[in-house]
């Protein structure tokens, strides 16, 4: 387990290593011959949208019975910087399919139409420390526009989202610190994004299997222009009995290891999913609200039902229209006509589907508190069932 902590990037007392070092080692959905629709970007990740960076802090340490405050620890932080290290608010919109969850700062997005800083994702009980750390990080890095030109006065309403990892993680031990948040923000980079049990997704479970962080992208043409849509998910939702891959119901025939839970099984469908959509298409806030609503269709393609106890919260932003938030002059804006937006809707649906599958496929067996065990989905079983139902796209 000690070796695993080092490989995954962020042992509680150890040095922090960016997870992107290991981003290309995990198996992805396409590697298993899952047929997926659409053209991807270079990395098939949210970072294919120019300027977008992702940073991860992964905390894995300890084993055995739960000792609150000591572990075992299976958690972390994911950070998304819409314009990298440049402060320049982006147009944004959001949508809650089911609101049994948290994403701070969304009321200001509704009111203003702007996302004014990083997006971070963590576990349910660490939202507060992550939010405070983001404010401090923005101040220290001057990632804001001062209220007055002569001083450093500013205000911030950070976007921090969560899903619950208490089946595997000592969630009440408050193991996420501001240093872990700083690391995720400072290490954010473009390029491949590490998936599965990484960042805020470290202790998460989806459709009965170990999952967590997943990402995907699509490149579409609208008239003479090409645009990219990138999606990142923190998947901790869904029931095994609803899991569908490429139209094939998995649960009736898929052979897998059994869960082991000291205090019984979690109710199917509990948990949440956070989805962040980025695009370089010139969309205004009302159009980004529409993009965010289409995420639900991608969730449904894998079998997500938006259950009562699931927090399914989605945010979309556009990196077009730089300096749109200027206070001194009226900005000149570009906007894609509504009649041309359908390719972006389609891209959002398919990229969301693939990001969820990537999160599940990358998730491997994990043992957490009290010996609780959640299996990774068996890759050979996916291939077997895809072949059986003539859906296999591999060689």
Cβ atoms within 10 A of the Cβ of 15, count? 9
**Of 48, 312, 318, 325, which one is the catalytic site residue?**
312
Query: What span, in angstroms and rounded, lies between the C-alpha atoms of 234 and 118?
Result: 16
User: Collapsing DSSP states into helix, strand and coil, what is residue 210?
Assistant: strand
- Quote the distance between the C-alpha of residue 123 and its chain's center: 12
User: Collapsing DSSP states into helix, strand and coil, what is residue 120?
Assistant: strand
**Of 5, 206, 272, 325, which one is the catalytic site residue?**
272
Query: What span, in angstroms and rounded, lies between the C-alpha atoms of 381 and 254?
Result: 6
Confirm whether 216 is a catalytic residue.
no
Confirm whether 88 is a catalytic residue.
no
Query: What span, in angstroms and rounded, lies between the C-alpha atoms of 277 and 389?
Result: 32
Token readout for 334 is 């570009």
Confirm whether 217 is a catalytic residue.
no
| CA nearest neighbour of 232 among 53, 90, 371, 111 | 53
Burial class (CB in 10 A: 0-12, 13-18, 19+), 243: buried
Q: What is the DSSP letter of 49?
A: S
**Of 194, 310, 318, 325, which one is the catalytic site residue?**
310
Token readout for 271 is 């948990």
Residue whose entry in the numeric block shows the structure tokens 């967590």: 212
DSSP 301-369: HHT----TTEEEEEEEEE--STTTT-SSSPPP-----GGG-HHHHHHHHHHHHHHHHHHHHH---EE-G
Residues designated as active site? 272, 310, 312
């Amino acid at each position: 387990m000690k070796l695993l902590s080092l490989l995954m990037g962020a042992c509680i007392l150890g040095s922090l290593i960016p997870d992107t070092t290991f981003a290309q080692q995990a198996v992805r959905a396409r590697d298993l011959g899952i047929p997926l629709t659409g053209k991807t970007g270079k990395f098939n990740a949210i970072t294919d949208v120019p300027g977008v960076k992702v940073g991860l802090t992964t905390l894995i340490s300890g084993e055995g019975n739960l000792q609150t405050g000591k572990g075992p620890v299976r958690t972390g932080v994911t950070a998304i910087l819409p314009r990298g290290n440049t402060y320049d608010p982006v147009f944004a919109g959001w949508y809650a399919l089911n609101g049994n969850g948290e994403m701070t700062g969304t009321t200001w997005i509704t009111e203003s139409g702007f996302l004014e800083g990083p997006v971070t994702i963590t576990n349910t009980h660490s939202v507060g420390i992550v939010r405070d750390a983001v404010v401090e990080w923005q101040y220290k890095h001057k990632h804001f526009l001062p209220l007055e030109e002569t001083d450093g006065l500013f205000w911030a309403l950070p976007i921090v989202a969560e899903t619950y990892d208490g089946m595997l993680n000592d969630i009440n031990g408050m193991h996420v610190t501001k240093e872990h948040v700083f690391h995720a923000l400072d290490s954010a980079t473009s390029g491949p994004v590490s998936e599965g049990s990484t960042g805020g997704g470290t202790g998460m479970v989806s459709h009965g299997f170990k999952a967590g962080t997943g990402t995907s992208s699509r490149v579409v043409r609208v008239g003479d222009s090409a645009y990219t849509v990138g999606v990142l998910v923190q998947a901790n939702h869904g029931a095994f009995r609803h899991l569908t891959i490429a139209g094939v119901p998995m649960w009736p025939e898929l052979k897998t290891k059994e869960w082991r839970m000291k205090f019984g099984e979690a109710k199917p469908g509990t948990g949440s999913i956070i989805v962040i959509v980025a695009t370089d298409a010139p969309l205004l806030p009302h159009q980004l609200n529409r993009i965010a609503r289409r995420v639900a269709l991608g969730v449904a393609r894998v079998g997500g039902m938006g259950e009562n106890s699931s927090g399914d919260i989605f945010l979309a932003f556009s990196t077009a229209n730089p300096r749109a938030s200027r206070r001194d002059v009226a900005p000149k804006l570009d906007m894609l006509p509504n009649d041309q937006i359908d390719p972006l809707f389609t891209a959002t649906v398919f990229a969301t589907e693939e990001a969820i599958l990537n999160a599940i496929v990358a998730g491997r067996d994990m043992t957490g508190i009290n010996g609780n065990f959640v299996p990774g989905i068996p890759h050979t079983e996916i291939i077997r069932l895809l072949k059986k139902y003539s859906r296999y796209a591999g060689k």
